[in-house]
Amino acid sequence: MAGKNKSADFLKQGGILAIASLLVRLIGLIYRIPMSNILGEEGNGIYAVAFEIYDLILIISSYSLPLAMSKIVSAQLARKEYRNSSQTLKVGMIFALISGGCFGCFLLFGAEFIEKNIYPEYTGVHIPLRVLAPTILIVAFLGVFRGFFQGKKTMIPTAVSQIIEQVVNAVVSVLASYLFMKWTIGDPFRSAWGAAGGTLGTCMGAASALLLLVFLISIYKPTLRKLEKRDRTGSVDSTGYLFKVLILTILPVILSQTVYNISGLIDYKIYGFYSAQGGLDAVSIKSMVGVYSSKYRVMCSVPIALSTALASSMIPSAVQAFTKKDYNQLRYNVSSVVKFNMIIAFPCFIGYTVLGMPIIKLLFSSNFILGGKMLVVGSLAIVFYALSNVTGGALQSINRMSIPVIHSAISLVLHIVIVILCVKYTSFGIYSLLVGNITFPLVVWLLNLWALKRYIPGGYSQEVIKTFVAPLTASIWMGVLTLGFYELVGVFTTSNIVRTLLSLIVAVLSYFVILLLINTVTRDELVDFPFGYRLYALAKKMRLMA
């Protein structure tokens, strides 16, 4: 029970971050619908490429700061080094200023060079890139503050700031996209200006979140001073030493995340290059990429965000367990998060497979047939991304920071070969990117799992029946019942809105019931989930649990 009691807090904190991530993604999904319709497929294609370039630069400059700060601070707190944790915050801010400032300037002044020399198939992409440039510096400071709070095992500041960031992002993105498209009628770069409106929302959202965290840090300062006075370790690490530790912690994460995210940019380049060689015009290339990014990837990002949040929330507890050599607790943490992820990922995969077309038709006004087919074909990637995220976070927790990098690099090489072969030698077209999107996390997960078995003292093995078989079984039955209900409702009405919404309700309820009927989770596990006590009370009323 000791492991169980210890795990409750990190699962609850993970639940807070997961709920926030879900809300953020849902808000993102909601605002991307009108924005997607405003921009059109060409504008969506430009927006997608600009965002992939921005994401890559963000990863290199500062995206890994929350994870690195969380890892360093949590280890310091495990040793009661309170003054060092405060010093780490100061060093992190200096790093953010240098790194975010330099890379922000690079994006601002190098946008046209990037377009002309790397992505000539996506004309106009330099405009939204320049709008995104200041965001690099803002997000760098955001990462430091979020990582500092996460290292102290509180996910609430991160969660609240993420929600505020996304709300502001949503409002500004839709409004600015509409106004920029309206003001540039007749401009050959009209679609690019519309995409720039979307990226302006990203900048304003990040700025609002930063203001909140600066306010919270100022309030937290007296508590920091009290903790520093309780520090009995006797020494404070120098700025130079902490700078070195921060860089050494960040570097493997940067390499790993760069490999993860560069795959999208490589995909767009491969598809654009070989499609252009095959005679496809530039507008069609941007439009196909627009459908892929604004429909398929946006829909898949919602459940994937949950796995990322849970993996992040696991790291501080896993680091402390590893630092204290409590390997049973470490194994419990990893296996619990994997199981929780599968309970979320499998029904999303099956649900998208069954209702992918109706969902896309419900949300988007154009190209819903192609977008729906993509979601049906490519939704399996959700499961593999969930597994690769958690296993990668576990390896980072046990100081095997370079291992996920190597695994991601191996997978990227295979990914590039697969996508090139599919685009060049098959008639898959844009579906080639789906094949790569599935195989990439699959390979990473298998390699990560092998490494966990090797590097966790005493080995590591994941329980199979209740972690994989039971959630998949419940999801398949859910899919069968949902599809049958969707067809049944079709006898009475042709309204896609009515059929889809009612079917989604049936999907959620049937999955919950079947999951409990086959004893996938215990009472103790259920109450550790977000809204766990309410779920348990509901299950008890339905006589699904004692």
pLDDT at 150: 82
* pLDDT bucket at 339, cuts 50 / 70 / 90: confident
pLDDT at 3: 45
Asked whether the beta carbons of 411 and 262 are under 8 A apart, the reply is: no
Enter the pTM of the model: 0.73
Asked whether the beta carbons of 365 and 433 are under 8 A apart, the reply is: no
* pLDDT bucket at 531, cuts 50 / 70 / 90: low
Place of tokens 């490999």: 259
How many Å apart are CA 319 and CA 5, to the nearest integer?
17
* pLDDT bucket at 5, cuts 50 / 70 / 90: very low
| Cα separations in angstroms, 117 against 120, 121, 123, 274 | 6, 10, 11, 16
Helix axes 239-277, 431-455, angle to 10 degrees: 150
Q: Residues with Cβ < 8 Å from 272, sequence gap 6 or more?
A: 119, 121, 122, 285, 289
pLDDT digits (tens, 9 = 90+) for 177-235: 999 999 998 888 999 999 999 999 999 999 999 999 999 989 888 888 888 788 777 67
Q: Is the predicted pLDDT of residue 298 greater than 60, yes or no? A: yes
Quick one: what percent of the chain has pLDDT higher than 70? Answer: 90
pLDDT at 530: 59
Q: Residues with Cβ < 8 Å from 520, sequence gap 6 or more?
A: 343, 466, 470, 471, 474
Quick one: what percent of the chain has pLDDT higher than 90? Answer: 41
Element (H, E) at 341: helix 327-363
pLDDT at 22: 67
Average pLDDT, the chain: 85
Q: What number of residues does the chain have?
A: 546
How many Å apart are CA 69 and CA 218, to the nearest integer?
18
Element (H, E) at 409: helix 402-425
The arithmetic mean of pLDDT across residues 330-347, rounded, is 85
Please tell me the chain's helix, strand, coil percentages from 3-state DSSP, rounded to the nearest 5: 85, 0, 15
* pLDDT bucket at 492, cuts 50 / 70 / 90: very high
Amino acid at 374: M
* pLDDT bucket at 258, cuts 50 / 70 / 90: confident
Q: Across 8-17, 277-286, 415-424, 521-530, which has the greatest mean pLDDT?
A: 415-424
The arithmetic mean of pLDDT across residues 263-288, rounded, is 88
Asked whether the beta carbons of 397 and 330 are under 8 A apart, the reply is: yes
**Euclidean distance between the first and final Cα of the chain, in Å?**
20
Reduce the DSSP state of residue 125 to 3 states and report it: coil
Task: Report the range of poorest mean pLDDT among 185-194, 301-310, 343-352.
Answer: 301-310
pLDDT at 254: 76
pLDDT at 23: 79
Q: 20 or 100: whose pLDDT is higher?
A: 100
pLDDT at 309: 67
Q: Is the predicted pLDDT of residue 12 greater than 70, yes or no? A: no
How many helices and strands (H and E) does the chain possess?
18, 0
pLDDT digits (tens, 9 = 90+) for 464-484: 898 899 999 999 999 999 999
pLDDT digits (tens, 9 = 90+) for 128-182: 999 999 999 999 999 999 988 888 777 788 788 888 999 999 999 999 999 999 9
pLDDT digits (tens, 9 = 90+) for 428-459: 999 999 999 999 999 999 999 999 888 888 88
Q: Is the predicted pLDDT of residue 21 greater than 80, yes or no? A: no
